């Protein structure tokens, strides 16, 4: 059950209702909308209490058909805007479109710095790079770990780009916080790793939640609800292709659910066409189509020399390709009245030579 | 094996090679490119003959990795342009974008005529409408049959729009020809109905080949190859969503393969977001995304009063929604240097009152 | 709506109810149970008529949750037994288990005769063989057509085995009837070829309806309902593997639905592990598992020299492997109180040398 | 690359080869076969070293087509037998068949003890029960945690049954070890939680690795390889249904791959029909079919009062149903020359009243 208060209701009213719910042995989770208080009661209300509360003039009771609550569209007047890199960081959602670009894996201090400069120059606002890599085979390259986080962050600082990196285990969280990784990515394989979700929710920084390979939209939004129920208020969803019978492409990008997501949740949604396609040369049209379908951003793999990349080489874009995608995206978002987010801060060092 | 002749080679050279192939007991199928002769030898060449032919100065032998031949991209210098409604009909492909719109089922002379006028006014160039409806249940409405064809064609003539309608059985072909249905649609369930494919291939009119619900791209292109091998030179592919585990939408639109299709075949590809989504209100962003991803056209279900439609009511657009999609499509195709096809002919009657 | 009459009710009562339904403009389809009359009213009953009929003492009204009617389990007291090869033919269903075996394609008079002798000797009761082969590529071997039917039937007659063969088009039906093909197989690709279903339903012989590659159980049973509504009273379902993301095997055998099918329909169900597995050496355990899960029979591809088979070589069993499967099946069906059907008639010729 | 030594080769030879590999900067992982030494070199061998080693008379080099190594069938002369509950515990694999039964969730000391007695009486050898429950919704019951482990173990000790329980996070491992949980289950959602796999591999006790909902067999065996490469030598695979388009059942049990698994890996495979079916009444035939298809065991959910179960109520068997399945399994395994594993130890207390 969702309890929506009238806009501008006095905070004491909310507190009072909260106490009544708690007195009845119920949880009351505070919604994320700053302009209008809302409470979520996961267990639902007993009939008498429901009747009582319905009589409150400042209160509306909403029982959504869908099983998610805190991430439900009904909880907010307007879509959420998530800022990555602090209060003046890069905005995603609510009409602001941002692009996350960078190498699949961080592969050395100089390499990631160069990649960052090219990504920034091409127009991307956020830098990605994997330091901890989930790999199907135990014998594949698994990333540089903490050292990779340091290299990624240094490159982000040098280019004025907040950084995004995948976290695979709660025990690595202190390292992500120490290196001030601006956005914690939950990979597709970990979408339902509920202990990891609870851990990152406590880190007070944005989380990028990738959709599991065979996760329904319902399971995905309930994974986001796990984050929200554990206190995370800055969640970005990331569609990255689902597993189907078709083997011509690595996965099948599910753009069909994109417009539905905007009805079902206030969370912003970015699309990662790189992992869906698995083939670099077909990524540009898919990136454009994702924006046209309503994506609030893109996540793109870029590499200066894909032929030597240590992972996902086949799907890495060249910087020039990224720049062309950015130019297209700039036009497409203008067409529907949105805008590319400005960069978080000016680049603070010259590109490496 | 594909034998590509030099541009402008004398027809006698092609005839000579054809005879040599036939003398060796091989089939030689003529390719569709008018500017450059090509022969397809489905069985492949014995080594000696291959060596002999490779020595011909005007001839290049190509063995594509993919199993399709006549519809292979390598067979043509430029993508195919299919014209629906005769030589001056509506062009699809090669930079020309066209939209097929109309009701799921033809539901009466007046109803389809009104729908046609609205579709034409909204900017669609082609009129669709089902007279023979494949229905999962034997007890559902199956269309008006031949009478429906007559009503559809009359509406098309009145509005200057070539018409597209699904054919379910070879025995109905004479009726489709008698009523001059301009484009024969093969439905998703019949994509591998090989006797039907062979029959419609002989009708000398364009065929719209929908992708089967669980057909791989390879199976789909081989179904097109069935048409081509049986003599059909005007094939339009239609992606309409594939069956996946996700149940939030009726099907999952597979835009991921769209850019690959343009590498693999010279055939134009239209996208039907209506059947993929199954929900009218999410169709506009999917229609736009399809065009941005490179679709050569759209197939859209439209109904004046969806609430009384006899089939697929939930996914029918209103005329105003169609008009807005057309406006968006006009801009999007201009952005990448394409154009909307002009209408086949001026509307030749006033709209019904 | 289903109207179940009391056992032994006078036929005049049924006729009377039928007339009242028809007078109300409703269809009344007679159910297949000989011991107890039943009527199916596809459109449902208007409330007053329903109330009236509910008052009849000999009548029970049943509104099943599922959308199928004539093939619904509720329509019969006991599961259907289908006899292939006439009234004294091979029984499938209701505790009788039968095995259909033979080559994928009929490849010549002598070859199919030898195969038939081996299949018969191994213990199979029914002979299969494709004369019309649906092939993904137009350039693949498509079977010997009518000549193949003649060869198959001759082999069946010589060995005392009724024969099963796939029909791909209604126009071939006279040839199937002329050659007295005992059971008409509808292939997976044609499961929703509704004109073909209507045509074979009129042939007054058993139909083997394969499940489509991506057909839900509901779609499959409604395809069977298409047959039943068109007058076919002898339908055998055939599960042959569904298309999933897994590529280790050709398809994924869906045994999970087998026990549900026996709750949902009175029709017998055979399983074809050959097409599901695509690998001969893993077929025996799958064949056994199918029987244990409740299959009423098996369809198995067998070839004397798989290495020269013109289609599906990789999944063809050798006669000795078939014999071992038959021995296992004999024990497994005995365990749960069922029995292998006896052969239709004694083999009437010596095996060829 | 796999290096297989001759049976009975002196350990010093193995040591010598290991040192040569390490000197070349290569890893050399020791295989699990006690009767015959084997080394896995994940990175492969440089050509000269390969040539040198090929010349060794006691050594055979094997390069399997499949990407897994330590769990590869080629690594062992005979299939692995995993013992749960110590060296005299319950055997799974190599002809020994065992059944894991118990409630979905541990729901109190008395409830699990009663369930254990009934499971034991019905013939199951191993007791399962969830203390940490992964739940799609954050608001669902998540299990009693450590207290649940204590209750489960107590019930196992009282009934002489080793216990199996799911571990969701590495940080819970000490609790599982403290309570001496005999077998650590990795759930489907965590199949590729690689940090969890590495952690449990170090616990020196058997691991039950469930297949991910959309995991290919290759991904599943590579997840097992993650365990093996991290030192785990007692791995049992568990097929539990994959996600497909079919919604009639909760999942689709993939028995088709079972015979392939026995070719591809030496690990035993148990099947969990409860989660695949999701409907209790269709579990018995699926359980039987799993054994007939070659499963080395079953995992079954059982509850004394399914109507009050706190999770997965719809798929819980009653004790009597379990007993009937056990009776059937006993016969079926005898048919193919296998046997039910004996219980680990006599039940050491009277059943609770």
Residues 279-298 of C with CB under 8 A from B: none
According to the model, what pLDDT value does residue D285 have? 97
pLDDT at C185: 98
> Per-residue pLDDT for D348 more than 60?
no
Residue environment code for C277-289, b if the CB has 16+ CB neighbours within 10 A, otherwise e: bbbbebbbbbbbb
Give the number of other CB atoms < 10 A from CB of residue B145: 14
Token reading at D324: 């009937």
Lowest pLDDT segment from B216-230, C97-111, D83-97, D298-312: D298-312
Burial of C303 (0-12, 13-18, 19+ CB in 10 A): buried
- ipTM score here? 0.94
CB neighbour list of residue A295: distance below 8 Å, 6 or more residues apart: A97, A239, A258, A269, A270, A271
Q: How high is the pLDDT of residue B314?
A: 86
| C30 φ, ψ (degrees, to nearest 5) | -80, 130
Alpha-carbon gap, residue B63 to A259, rounded angstroms = 43
Answer for the pair C71, C221: CB distance below 8 angstroms, yes or no.
yes
Question: Over 70: is that where the pLDDT of B45 sits?
Answer: yes
| Reported confidence tier of residue C276, pLDDT bands at 50, 70, 90 | confident
Q: Mean of the pLDDT values across residues C334-349?
A: 86
Question: By C-alpha distance, which of D106, B351, D248 is closest to C215?
Answer: D248
pLDDT, tens only, B211-227: 999 999 999 999 999 99
Tell whether domain B2-63 is in CATH 3.30.70.
Answer: yes
Tokens of D199: 């952690």
Residue indicated by tokens 């590869």: D72
pLDDT value at residue C311: 82
Among the partner residues C249, C277, C293, nearest to D285 by beta-carbon distance: C293
DSSP label at residue A74: G
Provide the pLDDT for residue B86: 93
pLDDT number for residue C344: 86
Average pLDDT, chain B: 94
pLDDT band at residue D35, thresholds of 50, 70 and 90? confident
Closest to B350 in 3D by CA, of B117, B106, B112, B109: B117
Check if D137 contacts A (Cβ < 8 Å). yes
- Subunits adjacent to chain A (3 or more Cβ pairs under 8 Å): B, C, D
Residue A209: the pLDDT is 98
Place of tokens 């069956």: B243
Residue D8 banded pLDDT, cuts 50, 70, 90: confident
Please work out, in degrees rounded to the nearest 5, the angle formed at the alpha carbon of residue C216 by the alpha carbons of C212 and C219.
80
d(CA D183, CA B336): 60
Question: Which candidate from C218, C242, C259 shows the least CB-CB separation from D286?
Answer: C259
Pure H helices in D123-245: 146-159, 173-178, 194-201, 217-229
Contact between residue D237 and residue D261 where contact means Cβ atoms under 8 Å apart: yes
Residue D161 near residue D127, CB atoms below 8 Å: yes
Q: What is the mean pLDDT of residues A193-220?
A: 96
What local confidence, expressed as pLDDT, does residue D307 receive?
A: 86
Q: What superfamily does domain D82-340 belong to in CATH? A: Aldolase class I (3.20.20.70)
B314-336 exposure pattern, b = at least 16 Cβ within 10 A, e = fewer: ebbbbbebbbbbbebbeebbeee
How much is the pLDDT for A350? Answer: 56
Q: Which residues of B touch D245 (CB under 8 A)?
A: 214, 243-245
Judge whether A136 is closer than 8 Å to chain C, CB to CB: no
Chain C hits for B139, CB-CB cut-off 8 Å, are 42-43, 69, 229
Provide, as residue numbers in chain C, all residues whose Cβ is less than 8 Å from the Cβ of D255: 253, 255, 286, 289
pLDDT band at A268 (very low <50, low <70, confident <90, very high): very high
Please name which of A283, A292, A217, A216 lies closest in space to residue B286, comparing C-alpha atoms: A292
Question: Do D329 and D340 meet the contact criterion of CB atoms below 8 Å apart?
Answer: yes
A53-A54-A55 Cα angle (round to 5): 85
- Cα dihedral value A296, A298, A299, A305, nearest 10: -160
Q: What is the pLDDT of residue A144?
A: 94
Choice among A116-125, D198-207, D305-314 with the minimum mean pLDDT: D305-314
pLDDT tens digit sequence for C212-254: 999 999 999 999 999 999 999 999 999 999 999 999 999 999 9
Nearest by CB to residue D216, choosing from C246, C254, C281, is C246
pLDDT at res. C351: 55
Q: What are phi and psi of A337, to 5 degrees?
A: 75, 20
Contact in structure between A60 and A75 (CB atoms under 8 Å): no
Predicted pLDDT of residue D311? 81
Contacts B133 to C, Cβ<8 Å: none
Nearest CA in chain B to C188: B192
The whole-number pLDDT of residue D347 equals 63
Distance, CA of D286 to CA of D269 (rounded, Å):
15
**DSSP states of D56-84:** -TTEEEE--SSS--TTBGGG-SS---EEE
* CA separation, residue B40 to residues B63, B64, B70, B263 (Å): 10, 11, 7, 19
User: For chain C, what are the domain ranges?
Assistant: 2-63, 82-340
Q: Alpha helix locations (H) across chain B?
A: 11-23, 47-54, 109-122, 146-159, 173-178, 194-201, 217-229, 258-264, 273-277, 283-292, 319-335
User: Residue C350 has what pLDDT?
Assistant: 56
Distance from CA of A182 to the nearest CA of C (A): 35
Q: What is the pLDDT of residue A32?
A: 86
Question: What per-residue confidence (pLDDT) applies to C172?
Answer: 95
Facing A214 at nearest CB: one of D170, D218, D243: D243
Assign A260 to helix, strand or coil: helix
Confidence of residue B312 (pLDDT cuts 50, 70, 90): confident
**Is-contact B98 B295, C-beta < 8 A?**
no
pLDDT band at B347 (very low <50, low <70, confident <90, very high): low
Encode burial over B116-133: b for 16+ CB neighbours within 10 A, e otherwise.
bbbbbebbbbbbbbbbbb
Predicted pLDDT at C274: 92
Whether residue A166 contacts residue A199, with contact meaning beta carbons closer than 8 Å, is answered with no
pLDDT score of B350: 56
Question: For residue D335, is pLDDT > 70?
Answer: yes
């Amino acid at each position: 059950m969702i309890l929506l208060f009238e806009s501008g209701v006095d905070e004491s009213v909310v507190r009072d209702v909260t106490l009544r719910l708690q007195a009845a042995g119920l949880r009351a989770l505070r919604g994320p909308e700053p302009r209008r208080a809302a409470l979520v009661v996961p267990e639902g209300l007993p009939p008498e209490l429901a009747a009582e509360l319905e009589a409150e003039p400042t209160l509306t009771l909403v029982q959504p058909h869908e099983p998610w609550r805190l991430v439900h569209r009904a909880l907010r007047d307007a879509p959420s805007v998530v800022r990555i890199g602090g209060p003046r960081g890069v905005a995603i959602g609510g009409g602001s479109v941002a692009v996350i670009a960078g190498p699949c894996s961080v592969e050395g201090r100089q390499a990631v710095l160069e990649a960052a400069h090219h990504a920034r120059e091409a127009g991307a606002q956020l830098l990605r790079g994997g330091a901890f890599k989930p790999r199907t085979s135990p014998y594949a390259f698994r990333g540089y770990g903490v050292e990779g986080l340091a290299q990624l962050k240094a490159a982000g600082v040098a280019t004025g780009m907040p950084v995004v990196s995948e976290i695979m285990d709660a025990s690595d969280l202190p390292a992500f916080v120490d290196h001030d990784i601006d956005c914690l990515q939950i990979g597709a394989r970990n979408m339902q790793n509920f202990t990891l979700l609870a851990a990152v929710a406590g880190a007070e920084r944005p989380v990028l939640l990738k959709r599991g390979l065979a996760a329904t939209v319902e399971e995905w939004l309930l994974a986001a609800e796990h984050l929200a129920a554990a206190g995370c208020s800055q969640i970005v969803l990331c569609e990255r292709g689902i597993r189907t019978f078709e083997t011509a492409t690595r996965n099948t990008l599910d753009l069909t659910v994109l417009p539905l997501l905007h009805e079902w949740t206030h969370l912003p949604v970015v699309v990662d066409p790189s992992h869906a396609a698995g083939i670099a040369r077909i990524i540009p049209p898919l990136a454009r189509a994702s924006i046209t379908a309503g994506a609030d951003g893109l996540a793109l793999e870029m590499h200066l020399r894909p032929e030597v990349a240590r992972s996902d080489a086949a799907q890495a874009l060249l910087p020039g390709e990224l720049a062309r995608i950015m130019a297209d995206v700039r036009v497409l978002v203008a067409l529907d009245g949105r805008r590319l987010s400005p960069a978080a801060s000016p680049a603070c060092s010259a590109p490496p030579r």
